[in-house]
């Protein structure tokens, strides 16, 4: 069958795995964006920069404190989430009464600042980060490096965990209620502003987590988030931000599509997601899982 497609199975499955990994990052990042958007009505343009900062946090924890990857996997997202909370309290929270576009502009400015500061400090070339799970297993039809398998599984667990937290727990019920009608929820005695702050912190921590996961396989550079975030925006537009599961499915699905494009028509691999976005917008403007608002 694979010979019929004119591609050796090694290459096909190799790209499929790469696609799954890219998809894992798309899913984690678009999930964070969706969680933030649902609560704050803000598109977090700083998301890419926060992903980059997560990778740098892992690198710095190893370099300056000697903390291994597995510690960084927990600590770095907490640090990045904390910076997010500071940003929300100091800046973002003052813009909620205005047009949502100002939130976008503010977070864009913040992204420039963060990226610029890291570029000033570390230069534009990449910093290496050692693979915490060397080796792999030969599956017969392909070679699966342990760490790459781990990324896919781990991000799946995190995504589904987030889904469970929001859709199946009491805290999540408060959150969904506050998204629908913040005044009413506040009248019931729930501290909505604090929930908003924590939601932003959580979404940003997800970006930081994705950054930590990316550190060992992509080189750690100040610009690693800037281009990725634009693709993630396209993913978000395709999926629509209406549902949590939707953004997970879209993220992984588009990663796989991109992987296959690399096999069959490499010239389009950079643009395929944008093309899909254009098509989806023509047929179903609200996105695959979204509701028009």
Q: Which spans of this chain sit near another protein (rule: CB under 8 A)?
A: 37, 43, 91, 94-95, 98, 100-102, 104-106, 108-117, 119-120, 226-227, 230-231, 233-234, 236-237, 267, 270-271, 273-275, 277-278, 281-282, 285
Q: Of 111 and 151, which has the nearer Cβ to another protein?
A: 111
Residue closer to another protein by CB (options 124, 138) is 124
State the nearest-atom distance from the C-beta of 143 to another protein, in Å: 30
Say how far apart CA 237 and CA 274 lie, in whole Å.
10
Smallest separation, CB 16 to another protein (Å):
22
Residue number with CB closer to another protein (120 or 194): 120
| Nearest approach, Cβ of residue 41 and another protein (Å) | 8
> Least distance to another protein from the beta carbon of 177, Å?
23
Shortest Å distance, C-beta 59 to another protein: 19
Measured from the CB atom, the residue of 62 and 95 that comes closer to another protein is 95
Q: Which is nearer to another protein, 75 or 226 (CB)?
A: 226
CB of 234 to another protein, least distance (A): 4
Of 114 and 202, the one with the shorter C-beta distance to another protein is 114
Sign of CA dihedral 171, 173, 167, 254: negative
């Amino acid at each position: 069958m694979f010979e019929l497609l004119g591609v050796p199975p090694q290459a096909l499955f190799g790209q499929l795995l790469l696609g799954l990994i890219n998809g894992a990052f798309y899913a984690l990042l678009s999930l964070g964006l969706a969680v933030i958007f649902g609560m704050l009505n803000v598109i977090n343009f700083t998301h890419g920069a926060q992903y980059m900062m997560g990778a740098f946090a892992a690198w710095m924890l190893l370099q300056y404190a000697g903390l291994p990857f597995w510690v960084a996997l927990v600590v770095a997202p907490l640090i990045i989430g904390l910076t997010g909370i500071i940003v929300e309290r100091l800046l973002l929270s003052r813009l909620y009464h205005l047009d949502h576009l100002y939130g976008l502009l503010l977070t864009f400015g913040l992204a420039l600042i963060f990226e610029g500061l890291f570029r000033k400090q570390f230069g534009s070339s990449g910093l290496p980060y050692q693979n915490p799970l060397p080796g792999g297993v030969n599956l017969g039809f392909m070679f699966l490096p342990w760490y790459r398998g781990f990324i896919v599984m781990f991000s799946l667990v995190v995504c589904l965990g987030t889904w469970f937290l929001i859709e199946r727990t009491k805290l999540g019920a408060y959150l969904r209620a506050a998204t629908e009608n913040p005044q009413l929820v506040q009248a019931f005695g729930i501290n909505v502003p604090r929930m908003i702050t924590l939601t932003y912190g959580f979404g940003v921590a997800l970006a930081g987590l994705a950054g930590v996961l990316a550190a060992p396989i992509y080189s750690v550079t100040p610009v690693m988030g800037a281009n990725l975030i634009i693709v993630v925006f396209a993913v978000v537009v395709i999926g629509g931000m209406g549902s949590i599961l939707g953004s997970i499915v879209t993220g992984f699905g588009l990663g796989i599509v991109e992987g296959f494009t690399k096999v069959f028509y490499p010239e389009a691999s950079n643009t395929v997601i944008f093309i899909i976005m254009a098509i989806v917008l023509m047929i179903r403007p609200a996105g695959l899982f979204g509701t028009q608002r």
